[in-house]
């Protein structure tokens, strides 16, 4: 695996998702969410390109251009789109960032890494197979697991469902933070990107109740227990 301290500029961001109105806004489309947010902020428009099996746009950054790709092959064939674009523009795997949903990360959290396994994600599995290497960057945006939030629901239904409003709001905070990383991605400053993402690697801990107030409440409760019931 290449050293993360010697990162190359990112030249392609592939946001994974499923095409079609029925999948818009679903958890499995987190990659589409981010790319649509980039397009909205930068005034870009995606156009369909058959030779790349997806919709593409070109983001101009001060440090260099980044291609944006939304595969329209459905999730389990995402590698066809990524490989076609990488081959055409001679983009190395370590110059690719794949944005995808992650079951094992809570909503409102995200992580970034170079290489690694697929954790059962069919999109990543196909990209790894088509590129013949796992050594591309992944931005993993948490959607949570149904065993934590909705045990009676199957994983398939969970990922293809729309998140609850509070989860959607938390995910949107990750999207907003990721938008601030574009210039660093274009420069190859992945350490800078990691510093931004690191703030979202875990949920913030609940604020502890001030000790004085807690002691006061505890004392009041104890006095209430000791007060005779007929008083």
Q: Are 96 and 188 contacting, i.e. CB atoms less than 8 angstroms apart? A: no
- Check if 121 is active-site: no
As a three-state string, the secondary structure of 112-144 is: EEECCCCCCCHHHHHHHHHHCCCCCEEEEEECC
Q: Could you give the CA distance from residue 208 to residue 214 in angstroms, rounded to a whole number?
A: 10
Active-site pick, 28, 100, 121, 167:
28
Say how many CA atoms lie within 13 Å of 89 toward its Cβ. 22
Nearest by Cα to 63 from 131, 7, 111: 7
Nearest by Cα to 61 from 6, 12, 14, 110: 12
Structure token pair of residue 185: 């991605």
Q: Are 85 and 69 contacting, i.e. CB atoms less than 8 angstroms apart? A: yes
H or E, element range at 58: strand 54-61
CA distances to 1, 30, 37, 61, 118 from 134, rounded to whole Å, are 9, 20, 26, 26, 9
Structure token pair of residue 47: 């156009």
Active site residues: 28
């Amino acid at each position: 695996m290449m050293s993360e301290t010697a990162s190359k500029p990112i030249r392609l961001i592939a946001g994974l998702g499923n095409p079609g109105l029925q999948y818009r806004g679903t958890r499995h489309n987190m990659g589409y969410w981010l790319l649509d947010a980039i397009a909205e902020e930068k005034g870009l428009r995606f156009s369909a390109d058959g030779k790349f099996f997806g919709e593409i746009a070109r983001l101009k950054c001060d440090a260099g251009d980044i291609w944006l790709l939304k595969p329209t092959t459905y999730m389990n064939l995402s590698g066809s789109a990524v490989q076609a674009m990488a081959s055409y523009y001679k983009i190395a795997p370590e110059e690719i960032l794949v944005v995808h949903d992650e079951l094992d990360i809570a909503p409102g959290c995200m992580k970034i890494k170079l290489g690694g396994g697929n954790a059962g994600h069919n999109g990543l599995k196909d990209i790894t197979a088509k590129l013949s290497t796992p050594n591309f960057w992944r931005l993993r945006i948490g959607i949570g697991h149904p065993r934590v939030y909705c045990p009676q629901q199957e994983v398939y239904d969970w990922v293809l469902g729309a998140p609850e409003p509070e989860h959607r709001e938390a995910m949107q905070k990750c999207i907003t933070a990721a938008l601030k990383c574009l210039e660093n991605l274009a420069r190859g400053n992945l350490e800078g990107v990691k510093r931004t993402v690191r703030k979202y690697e875990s949920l913030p801990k609940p604020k502890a109740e001030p000790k004085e107030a807690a002691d006061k409440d505890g004392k009041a409760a104890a006095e209430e227990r000791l007060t005779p019931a007929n008083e």
